[in-house]
Every structure is written in C-alpha cells, then in structure tokens.
Structure 1
Amino acid sequence: MNSSLVFTFLGQDRPGLVERLADIVADHQGNWLESRMTQLAGQFAGIVRVAVNETDIDELSNALCSLNIEGLTIHIQPGVSDPAPGARGKQCKLHILGNDRPGIVREVSRALKQQQINVIEMSSNITSAAMSGDALFEAHVSAQMPAGCDFDELEDSLDAIAEQLDVDIVVS
C-alpha cells in the first residue's frame, strides 16, 4: 500500500540538485507527485510530495537524510490525506501590490487568520515601479475559506489594511 511522504530541502544552489533528489526517490520506488521549488539568495529550497510503498518509507527517508552530508538540510513528514473537496470550503485568491514596506505580509495574514482562512500557497517578490524605479511589493495568495466565512467582512478588513498601508489588495 502506498503512503504519502512530504519532505523539504534547503541547500546552496547548484546544478544537479533536483536530479539528485529525483534519483533517490526513484531508486526507492517512490513516485514524485508534486513539488514547489525556488532559488533565493543563492539557496535552493523546495517541498516535495512523493508516494511510496509503506515498506520503503524508512529506506527512502534514510537515503534522503543522508544528503545532509552533501550540504542539504532535509526534513521529512508523513503526508495526510486531503479532505473531501466539499469539506474544504471555498477558495479565494488575493493579489497584493504596493510600495514595499515592512508589515504587509503580517497585516494581511492576520486578517486571514481572524476569519480562520488558511493560506494554501503564497508567492511574493520585490519589483521596480516602471516610471519611478521604487521598490514594489507584489504577492499572490491562494487561500481556503471555511464554510460560512463572511466574504464581505473579509473584503472590508482587507480594504482597511490596503488603505492603512497604501497598497492594492484584490480579492477574488
């Protein structure tokens, strides 16, 4: 019977890193299901979900952890099954754009938490404004709203944050 295994990794970026991880997964009869990876400030980080036979979990885990001597930091957790689609509630997306300043992520994430909204995925970066060259913060957030969540209340709280921090927050 197959089980889901989730591992994160972090190490100095270099060619062949993903291949090294994929080789270990394949060598232990694992199936690479999904992943998110990125290079930031010379470091390469990712999170990967694999399916593996329960009898191979320990060997795969040990092989992945052996990469610590190659300069990778590996953390492994058993995966849990996803809830049924109807039990998840509705999904919402946020797009945040404005002059970069401390506190944007904190304030938006606080507003989401207050309504028990779970961040599923978030990406952010700093870009330059076209005309002025000023630093712009931009983020894309996918989140799961619980059943019964008041969308209007969410929009009101995010509008207040947008006004306070002088950023645009679009919710869909």
Structure 2
Amino acid sequence: MNKVLISVLGNDQPGILATVATVINQRQGNIENLSQTLLHTVFGALLLVDIPKQETPESLQQALQEASASMGLNITVHPWHEQIADWHQNKPETQPYIISAIGPDRQGLVAEVASQLFKHGVNISNLQAIFKGGKNPMENVMVFEIDVPRATNMDELREALAEIAKRLDLEISVQHRKIFESVSTILT
C-alpha cells in the first residue's frame, strides 16, 4: 500500500465526505486518519489514506475531482512518505493544557500567542479560532489545545501570556485539560 495525504476544500454542503470516502473505498483505499472542520461556511478536511500499489495519487485525484465536480471542491492528493520531525522523535514528556483567549479582534492575535507558546517549547495540537470582528469579546474566541513539556516553567508561561493579554486587551485562561473537561462537564 502507498500512503497519500488528501486535502479537500470548498463550500460546506451535504455529501462531501460521503463522496470522497466512497471514491476511496471503490478504489480499494483505506482511510487511516481524518480531520474535518468548518470555518464559517468553508469545509476543510485532511485524510491520510492507504491506496493499493497500482493506484497513483494522480489517478485518485482525478477520480475524486470527477465524482465531486458538481460540488465545486478543491481536492489535492499528495504522496505521503512520513518523516517524523525531530520534536516527535525526541518528544519530551508532556501534559495536555487548554488555553482560551477572548477579546477584541485585531491583527496578529494568533501570531502573538502561538509565538509565545513556541518560545516555551509548547506544541499546539489543535486550534479553533472564531473572529467575527468588532469589540464584542464573545465574538472573538481562540481555543488552543497544547502539549506542554513537563520541564516548562508554567509560572513563566502564564506570565508571558498575561503580558500578551494585558497588551491586547484579552482574557486568557490556562487550564490543565482534565480541569477544563471537569468544569465543562459540571456546567453542562
């Protein structure tokens, strides 16, 4: 089997995953991993797929594009030869945290927080950000799921994020994932 990475982008509508998954199945491919999201009305998905040796990324891409032609999707199939990054090869022991940031929309919010996390050796495993603009803080929210190395000084990380919060008029919360999930469960 050959591994390919498939990206699917387009206007959200019913049937996108059904169409893509059906074509993959018909061509004896196997979806190993899938991540799908909506950004406002834009659908986006990444699929890691095993395809038979006789299948090529180009022929699979053509089949996917033909099957989804009426949907107006942008589908790309790339050969995937996994190369594990140094960080993953020598991954430190980490703890899962959740950072939420709420406040007025302005240019550079994601860059500010992400850069500070990088300076502290923190890996972002998932990020959801909704920016509707304006000053209403509840319309501008970022939620980072992060892996924090145990060696990271959490007081220093919190101080650095507090400085960003003060400068950019944000409310930033840093919680261990277990605490975040427990509070969320209690509130629902």
- Aligned match of 1:118: 123
Q: Is the 8 Å Cα contact of residues 28 and 59 (structure 1) preserved in structure 2?
A: no
Alpha-carbon spacing, 1:134–1:150, altered in 2? closer, same or farther (3 Å)? closer
What is the distance in 2 between the residues matched to 1:121 and 1:31? 24
Alpha-carbon spacing, 1:112–1:134, altered in 2? closer, same or farther (3 Å)? closer
Cα offset for 1:121? Answer: 0.8
CA RMSD, Structure 1 to Structure 2 (Å): 3.2
Cα offset for 1:3? Answer: 5.6
What is the distance in 1 between the residues matched to 2:92 and 2:80? 20
What is the distance in 1 between the residues matched to 2:100 and 2:136? 20
Q: Which structure has more strand as a fraction of its residues?
A: 1
Cα offset for 1:89? Answer: 3.0
Alpha-carbon spacing, 1:136–1:160, altered in 2? closer, same or farther (3 Å)? same
- Aligned match of 2:73: 72
Amino acid at match of 2:60: A
- Aligned match of 1:168: 171
Cα offset for 1:73? Answer: 2.4
What is the distance in 2 between the residues matched to 1:135 and 1:81? 40
Q: Is the 8 Å Cα contact of residues 92 and 144 (structure 1) preserved in structure 2?
A: yes
Amino acid at match of 1:87: K
- Aligned match of 1:152: 155
What is the distance in 2 between the residues matched to 1:167 and 1:44? 28
Q: Is the 8 Å Cα contact of residues 12 and 42 (structure 2) preserved in structure 1?
A: yes
- The alignment of Structure 1 onto Structure 2 pairs a total of residues equal to 166
Q: Is the 8 Å Cα contact of residues 127 and 135 (structure 1) preserved in structure 2?
A: no
Give TM-score, length-normalised by structure 1: 0.76
- Aligned match of 1:24: 23
Q: 2:144 aligns with which of 141, 145, 149?
A: 141
What is the distance in 1 between the residues matched to 2:128 and 2:58? 28
What is the distance in 2 between the residues matched to 1:163 and 1:134? 14
Instruction: Find the residue that maps to 1:99 and give its secondary structure.
Output: coil
What is the distance in 2 between the residues matched to 1:122 and 1:77? 26
- Aligned match of 2:104: 99
Alpha-carbon spacing, 1:29–1:111, altered in 2? closer, same or farther (3 Å)? same
Question: C-alpha offsets along residues 51-89 of structure 1, whole Å, 9 cap, x if unaligned?
Answer: x25625x436521344346243233251638758x9353
What is the distance in 2 between the residues matched to 1:93 and 1:6? 28
Q: Which runs of 5+ in 1 are unaligned?
A: none
Q: Is the 8 Å Cα contact of residues 127 and 138 (structure 1) preserved in structure 2?
A: no
Cα offset for 1:109? Answer: 0.9
Instruction: Find the residue that maps to 1:107 and give its secondary structure.
Output: helix
What is the distance in 2 between the residues matched to 1:166 and 1:108? 13
